[in-house]
């Protein structure tokens, strides 16, 4: 058995390119102690990984140059030094971008039986939990309120839109293509989907879509779309900062419209969060998401790229919005 | 008896000037129904009034051109149609900038006996309550944490600094003169007071003053001082948006360093508030402030300008930082 891994070749300046990554042939590791050897089936590529390619303090340590990239993945247990897992089990966890990797059994979970294992990377995994806790715990949408979601057709956005509809809110999503907007409107029941690339003045577009103002804003993108939201927020509005993909590739400090005066006159709250801070409530979140999913109230959406060697390209594609829903690489 | 009032002559562009205001001779009103006629003793001038001079949605309706300006004041009851007050009682409430005005008895409070009536406009009034709820309810400082206060020598800032010290925090204040900084450090026990006009690079100055980062930021000013805070906030930091005096006179949208990426990587919260949202807890707040004040743990600081005719100038002076503590006009 031959192994292969993808390393950070150099810290990218701007949008990562194929030269940011380096392939290397390596050995298949042997599971030690409580470890499990896993053959990767699906690798999740996520925008937040861009932050780890930077040599800068963030909520998670940076990748080192020459080191393997790590992200969520689903794989099949090949060999187990832990009684918790048997060969053939399909598990999810954090792994290197490798064909084979070992992980501590305590950090792995069996995927939900009877559903596509890729859901463990999307609606029933960290992505779904991010949407669930960010929207419900911070956004606190109430029936009849207006929820705006940026990056609405992205992995997290798609789940946020659907949960907001389940909470009987008016939901307005922004996305970067007419196809994505059609999908949001027709398949997910989003009330208004706005293509920010063609909408012209975003404040006007949002004002038309949100006649009662914006009570909750779930922000995946930052930048101009988020600026257009500010003049429309209502008293007591909640602005959830989940991602800022529009600026992840910039090395300049983010300059633009500042939210403070809008927060002040509306007694509004803006809060950043990382899903891991809800770790002790993951069980509750997965249980609710699984119930919605298996009862057909919550749809999973994914874009699958084939082949381990295409992992870098799948990651790079996130920044030009190639994905609808969760971007996944099938090994 | 002759009455006099100060009206909004025109909406100011930029910093208000004496031409923004207009004096008019009027009649002394007669108290009706449940009203009380009050002779003004002290008028409070506050930065937030600038917002009401603008024809724009805010948390409180704008003043109309030709209409009297209104703010908090303390006065002596001259005539009462309500059994709640007798002539000679000293009360606080919201009044027009007038020598004599009437108000509904239910909206007035007797000032705390035995202390200067001006405290009803400062530490034992809306100013103190703003500091109390903003810092404790939103900022939630814990023992040993670092609290940075901008506009620290202003009416609210001075109370915030002292409450933060009572909560055993490291307190760093910013102000616009060496005299104010001396006062904060020597009289109020602020650990480090930074003169933002002479400090040079504010990020460096704050970094030196806050070696462990900034856990709570109480913002009265906005602008550059607030931008310098962002790179230094800690995980879970709370940023309280109480005022933005540095931009109240600008008609341009506030462009500058955006806080979203800093809130995201630190799971931090930024929240605007208006003290009136705590109305149902004012009793609790005043009781605690009065206990600290009468026991000598909380000092009142005020700058008193003499003469009703100088009310406009006292207000204008707020924007060049003429006041230490609460700016009050003695009638």
Name the nearest CA neighbour of A268 among B269, B34, B13, B147: B269
What gap in Å lies between CA B221 and CA B47, rounded to an integer? Answer: 10
Q: What is the pLDDT of residues B27-51, one digit of tens each?
A: 999 999 999 999 999 999 999 999 9
Residue B259 three-state SS:
coil
Which of B150, B151, B265 to mutate against chain A (most A CBs within 10 Å)?
B265
Closest chain B residue to A240 measured between Cα atoms? Answer: B264
Closest chain B residue to A57 measured between Cα atoms? Answer: B265
CB contact under 8 A, A264 and B253: no
Tell me if chain A has a CB within 8 Å of the CB of B147: no
What gap in Å lies between CA B70 and CA B103, rounded to an integer? Answer: 12
Across the interface, which of B58, B258, B263 has its CB nearest the CB of A271?
A: B263
State the span(s) of chain A assigned CATH 3.40.50.720.
126-276
Q: Is A205 exposed, middle or buried (0-12, 13-18, 19+ CB in 10 A)?
A: buried
* Percent above pLDDT 70 for chain B: 99
Given the structure tokens 């879509």, which residue do they identify? Answer: A209
What gap in Å lies between CA A283 and CA A109, rounded to an integer? Answer: 12
Structure tokens at B155: 């009416």
Positions of E strands within chain B: 3-8, 21-26, 35-44, 70-80, 90-96, 100-104, 109-110, 146-149, 170-175, 192-195, 214-219, 233-241, 255-257, 269-272, 302-306, 326-330
H-helix or E-strand spanning residue A161: helix A155-166
Residue A313 three-state SS:
helix
pLDDT of residue A57: 65
Q: pLDDT tens digits, chain A, 331 residues: what are they?
A: 899 999 999 999 999 999 999 999 999 999 999 999 999 999 999 999 999 999 876 667 899 999 999 999 999 999 999 999 999 999 999 999 999 999 999 999 999 888 999 999 999 999 999 999 999 999 999 999 999 999 999 999 999 999 999 999 999 999 999 999 999 999 999 999 999 999 999 999 999 999 999 999 999 999 999 999 999 999 999 999 999 999 888 888 899 999 999 999 999 999 999 999 999 999 999 999 999 999 999 999 999 999 999 999 999 999 999 899 999 999 9
What gap in Å lies between CA B185 and CA B188, rounded to an integer? Answer: 6
Cα–Cα distances in Å, from B114 out to A11, A123, B29, B86, B290?
A: 67, 64, 30, 18, 11
Residues 94-113 of chain B whose Cβ lies under 8 A from any Cβ of chain A:
none
From B34's Cα to the closest Cα of chain A, the distance in A is 32
Radius of gyration over every alpha carbon of chain B, rounded to an integer in angstroms: 20
Query: Given 3.30.160.150, 3.90.180.10, 3.40.50.10440, 3.30.70.270, which CATH number is that of A3-122+301-330?
Result: 3.90.180.10
Tell me if chain B has a CB within 8 Å of the CB of A242: yes
Question: Is residue A103 within 8 Å of A31, Cβ to Cβ?
Answer: no
pLDDT of residue B57: 65
State mean pLDDT over B247-270: 94
Structure tokens at B64: 């109309």
What gap in Å lies between CA B262 and CA A278, rounded to an integer? Answer: 19
Measured CA angle at B232 (ends B228, B234), to 5 deg = 145
CB contact under 8 A, A243 and B264: yes
From A60's Cα to the closest Cα of chain B, the distance in A is 9
Q: Which residues of B touch A253 (CB under 8 A)?
A: 257
pTM of the entire predicted model: 0.94
Across the interface, which of A57, A241, A261 has its CB nearest the CB of B260?
A: A241
Cα–Cα distances in Å, from B140 out to A240, A263, B136, B149, B285?
A: 20, 18, 5, 14, 15
CA A194 remoteness from chain centre: 20
Tell me if chain B has a CB within 8 Å of the CB of A219: yes
Given the structure tokens 């709370």, which residue do they identify? Answer: B238
Residue B219 three-state SS:
strand
Does residue B183 register a pLDDT over 70?
yes
Measured CA angle at B208 (ends B203, B210), to 5 deg = 90
Beta bridge partners of A238: A216, A269
What gap in Å lies between CA A109 and CA A93, rounded to an integer? Answer: 7
Does residue B61 register a pLDDT over 90?
no
From A66's Cα to the closest Cα of chain B, the distance in A is 24
Residues 158-187 of chain A whose Cβ lies under 8 A from any Cβ of chain B:
none
Question: Is residue B43 within 8 Å of B331, Cβ to Cβ?
Answer: yes
Cα–Cα distances in Å, from A289 out to A44, B208, B253?
A: 19, 46, 41
Residue partners of A287: CB distance under 8 A and separation at least 6: none
What gap in Å lies between CA B289 and CA B260, rounded to an integer? Answer: 34
Q: What is the pLDDT of residues B273-311, one digit of tens each?
A: 999 999 999 999 999 999 999 999 999 999 999 999 999
Residue A167: DSSP 8-state: T
How do beta strands A70-80 and A90-96 pair?
antiparallel
Name the nearest CA neighbour of A136 among A48, A213, A218: A218
State mean pLDDT over B300-326: 95
H-helix or E-strand spanning residue A330: strand A326-330
Tell me if chain A has a CB within 8 Å of the CB of B264: yes
Q: What is the pLDDT of residues B230-252, one digit of tens each?
A: 999 999 999 999 999 998 888 88
DSSP structure string for B28-81: PPPP-TTEEEEEEEEEE--TTHHHHTSSS--SSPPPPTTSBPEEEEEEEEEEES
- Give me the CATH topology for the region A126-276: Rossmann fold (3.40.50)
CB contact under 8 A, A243 and B255: no
Tell me if chain A has a CB within 8 Å of the CB of B245: no
Q: What is the pLDDT of residues B74-119, one digit of tens each?
A: 999 999 999 999 999 999 999 999 999 999 999 999 998 889 999 9
Question: Is residue A228 within 8 Å of A203, Cβ to Cβ?
Answer: yes
* Percent above pLDDT 90 for chain B: 93
Other Cβ atoms less than 10 A from the Cβ of A23: the count is: 14
What gap in Å lies between CA A73 and CA A97, rounded to an integer? Answer: 9
Residue B270 three-state SS:
strand
């Amino acid at each position: 058995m031959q192994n292969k891994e993808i390393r950070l070749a150099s810290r990218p300046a701007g949008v990562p390119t194929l030269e940011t990554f380096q392939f290397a042939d390596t050995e298949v590791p042997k599971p030690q102690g409580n470890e499990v050897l896993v053959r990767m089936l699906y690798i999740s590529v996520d925008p937040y990984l861009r932050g780890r390619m930077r040599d800068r303090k963030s909520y998670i340590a940076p990748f080192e140059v020459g080191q393997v990239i790590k992200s969520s993945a689903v794989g099949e247990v090949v060999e187990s030094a832990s009684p918790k897992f048997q060969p053939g089990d399909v598990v999810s966890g954090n792994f290197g971008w490798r064909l084979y990797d070992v992980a501590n059994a305590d950090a792995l979970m069996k995927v939900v039986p009877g559903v596509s294992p890729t859901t463990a990377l999307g609606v029933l995994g960290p992505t779904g939990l991010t949407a669930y806790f960010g929207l419900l715990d911070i956004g606190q949408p109430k029936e009849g309120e207006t929820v705006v979601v940026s990056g609405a057709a992205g992995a997290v956005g798609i789940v946020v839109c659907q949960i907001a509809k389940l909470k009987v809110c008016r939901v307005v999503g922004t996305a970067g293509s007419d196809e994505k907007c059609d999908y949001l409107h027709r398949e997910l029941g989003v009330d208004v989907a706005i293509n920010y690339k063609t909408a012209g003045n975003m404040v006007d577009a949002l004002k038309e879509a949100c006649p009662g103002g914006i009570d909750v804003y779930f922000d995946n993108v930052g930048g101009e779309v988020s600026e257009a939201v500010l003049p429309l927020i209502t008293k007591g509005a909640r602005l959830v900062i989940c991602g800022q993909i529009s600026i992840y590739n910039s090395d300049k400090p983010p300059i633009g419209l500042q939210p403070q005066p809008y927060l002040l006159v509306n007694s509004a709250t803006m809060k950043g969060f990382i899903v891991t801070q809800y770790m002790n409530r993951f069980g509750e979140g997965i249980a609710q998401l699984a119930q919605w999913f298996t009862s057909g109230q919550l749809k999973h959406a994914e874009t699958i790229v084939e082949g381990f060697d295409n992992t870098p390209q799948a990651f790079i594609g996130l920044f030009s919005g190639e994905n609808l829903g969760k971007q996944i690489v099938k090994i």
